[in-house]
Amino acid sequence: MDYISKLKKELERAILIGDIEKADEISDKLFKTQGGRDADTVMPHQFIEKIKERSKERSKEKTGGQKTMNVKKIVSIAAAAAVVATIGISTLAVRWNGVKDLVFKNSGIKTAYTEDDFESQEDSENKDLPESTVEGEADFIALQGYPDSNEYKASVEWNLFCSEYDADGSILAKIGNSSNEFIEKYPMYLVYTQEMADKLEEIINKYELKLHESRTFISSGEELIKEAGTGDFIKNNNIVLGGYVYNDSTFHFDGEAVLKDGTQMGYQFGNYVKGTFSDTYLNIGDANSYREWEYTTKSGVKVSLALSENKALVIADLPDSYVTINLLSGTQKGITDKMLEEFADLFDFSKI
């Protein structure tokens, strides 16, 4: 671990335990080490007020010649260290490199990714590679939240475990199409040994998440809204082709939208309820190939948009869930920034 990373870890620890004096000391070091620059980020209001309050107390306690806390400096440095990411404030998303920060795995080689890339460990075992593929770098992202969230951390930990466990598929091959106690106990996940069951239980207890217990398949927008218990968030010229809803209202569906100019846009929509565990991940090709920006939809919800040659993403961090929409086309098929924004406006995220 380099010196700056070590200081940032120490700063996180000091803030989490409320040691403002220590945080002030470490921020001095960080401030000087990083050239004295103020980071252009924000901190939670309650933390800023805590710093200010403690700063006033210290100024009363100290006598001439002793420095008092530089509130602006410690707030900016703390934000620069992404302290809020470990505090777990879901309403604040600290992202430095956009989509790249969501990547949890890279194949390290040029590979083919499909035009239907939403996968879970269960899905990937039985999935045939379609004929329509695109050559590119294989970066995989978790779809359950930003890297500071328990949902993201749990998904990454489980997927990395599964990528190494029974890598040659020999254990699963012995089970074949038969069932066992683990498959029956965890029907929504690919768990077929005691080791896998133990790891899954360890993860959900560690991150305080609940497992999906059942799911209902749907074939229309009306069925989706009824099963998920949402408002009517799908606007005109936008249809649900099929999907499923878990018992906790997490859902996934395939859809097709038509823009004003007649452009048809196929997509996959994932809504992941916070506090639940999902193992779905997405192959996005090369994360470095995306152009990204923020956009406030007509429903008043701010979303993150990302556009590459072969794919586009719409991401919304909502109060109760995290939404990732995988658009199955990009600039090579004529998709522009304005078209992606128009597409995002076909959903009323405030009703989810």
User: Given this model, what pLDDT does residue 73 score?
Assistant: 42
The dihedral through the CA atoms of 32, 35, 39, 40 has a sign that is positive
CA nearest neighbour of 340 among 309, 299, 307: 307
pLDDT at 283: 92
- Maximum alpha-carbon separation in the chain: 78
**Is 308 part of a structural domain of the chain?**
yes
> Which residues, in sequence order, are CB contacts of 2 under 8 Å at separation 6+?
none
Residue 229 lies in a domain: yes
Q: Is residue 40 part of a domain?
A: no
Instruction: Please list, in sequence order, all residues whose beta carbon lies within 8 angstroms of the beta carbon of residue 38, skipping any fewer than 6 positions away.
Output: 72, 73, 76
Res 85: pLDDT: 34
Please report the pLDDT score of residue 80 as a whole number: 39
- pLDDT number for residue 75: 43
Instruction: Give the per-residue pLDDT at 2.
Output: 62
Which residues of the chain carry a pLDDT beneath 50?
A: 36-52, 54-55, 58-96, 107-116, 124-136
Pick the closest to residue 135 from 106, 108, 114, 118 (CA basis).
114
Q: Report how far Cα 72 is from the mean position of its chain's Cα atoms.
A: 30
109 in a structural domain: no
Give residue 22's pLDDT.
72
End-to-end, the C-alpha distance of the chain in Å comes to 41
- Specify if 232 maps to a domain: yes
Burial-class residue 197 by CB neighbours within 10 Å (0-12, 13-18, 19+): middle
Q: For the chain, what is the domain count?
A: 2
Answer yes or no: pTM beyond 0.85. no
Q: Kindly state whether residue 16 falls inside one of the protein's structural domains.
A: yes
The reported pLDDT for the residue numbered 251 is 98
Residue 306 covered by a domain: yes
Q: Is residue 103 assigned to a domain? A: no
Domain membership of residue 5 as a residue range: 1-28
